[in-house]
Structure 1
Amino acid sequence: PSSFTTSQPAVLVVCGPGNNGGDGLVCARHLKMFGYEPSVYYPKRPNKPLFEGLTTQCQKMDIPFLQEFPAEAALIDELYGLVVDAIFGFSFTGAVREPFGSILSTLERITVPIASIDIPSGWDVEKGKADGLQPDMLISLTAPKKAAMHFTGRYHFLGGRFVPAALQEKYALNLPPYPGTDCVLQL
């Protein structure tokens, strides 16, 4: 376990109903392989083969799925050294519905680090969000989204060395070079 988390290797991975939630399941699997102890809270599971398969993979790796979300911020602080926010991604629009409104409200009060996948949940992909969830780490996938300009946390990573040059040119992504064979880099 890295110095980013506390000495507590337990990680709470909170997954939403879309692709960001699927990224959270993949994250939980990798955390387990690297010696962490992830637990997943996945309240709105989609009925799609991809997400069912990702869930099965986690279950076969003995990653526990919580039946209830720890409603008290202090309990999360006590039990976990890191929370992974995989609730909503860049395509999220509209109002946050339950149970996710309550979950985000609780996460706003915890003191352990939060790592958000692609965009902090609840943020507008273009404008960001001044109030609400303020993660310590942002892991941008493919390219940083416009809202990443408003990220003020300590660590910002980019994963996505796989973007073809033609796609980079088409969207003027201006991606930084990756060192050596790395697929992730710190921005």
Structure 2
Amino acid sequence: MAKHGYTIEQLMELAGLSVAASIASEYPKGRVVICVGPGNNGGDGLVAARHLNHFGYQPCLYYPVQPTKDLYTRLLLQCQAHGIAVVDDLADEVNKCDIVVDAIFGFSFKGTVRAPYDETLSILRGIDKPIISIDVPSGWDVELGNPQGVGLSPDMLVSLTAPKLCANHFAGRFHYLGGRFVPPDLARDLDIPQYPDSSQCVRLL
């Protein structure tokens, strides 16, 4: 999208807003744990946390590896300025929350899940709370899905820009598309559906 003049900051803001809007479309206001990973998927989660806070939810962040990159540091500071706490005990927080946002790994994930995220995924695989995954469920292959069963099984998937091939293997209740920034010619090429009115997301399933 850079060739169309968008910055990574703009794309992340629009993506995170669409994630929050998708969640607000299906889940009542309550406590939310956002599990934040080391890359852009985690950045989307930080933006989503801020917007969920604006929408009346009670988000907190589980961020096992604190950021060093300026972009993520600023996004974290924005969350903290709105009173969004960073928590240390994921196992305890998921027992108290209503939903969990999986913002750990995105479409660029390859290989084996390493510490500390292997423990994070192990905890999340064992809970009975709805999980909302951003773009690609953590632990999944972007094309093949979750053939080894090591990834998460989310209740909602929010695809960004366009659904990835792995979305064909999604078996949860809600599939949304977000990221309302795709130019018309590219939207036609990707066969992206029309967004309704002023909505930042569109339900696919």
Common fold, TM-score beyond 0.5? Answer: yes
Contact 2:94 2:100 in 1 (8 A): no
Structure with bigger RCO (C-alpha 8 Å, 6+ apart): 2
Q: CA RMSD in A?
A: 1.8
Opposite residue 67 of structure 1, the aligned amino acid is: D
Structure 1 residue runs of 4+, over 6 Å off? none
1:42 Cα shift? 0.7
Look up the match of 1:105: 122
State the identity %. 52
1:182 Cα shift? 1.8
Look up the match of 1:168: 187
Look up the match of 1:151: 170
Higher share in helix: 2
Point out the more displaced range, 126-135 or 78-87: 126-135
Look up the match of 1:84: 101
| Structure 2 counterparts to residues 122-133 of structure 1, below 5 A | 122-130=139-147, 131=149, 132-133=151-152
1:3 Cα shift? 8.4
Look up the match of 1:21: 42
Look up the match of 1:60: 81
SS in 2 for 1:92: coil
Contact 2:60 2:84 in 1 (8 A): yes
Look up the match of 1:45: 66
SS in 1 for 2:154: coil
Opposite residue 37 of structure 2, the aligned amino acid is: G
SS in 1 for 2:190: coil
TM-score normalized by the length of structure 2: 0.82
Question: How many residues are aligned here?
Answer: 180
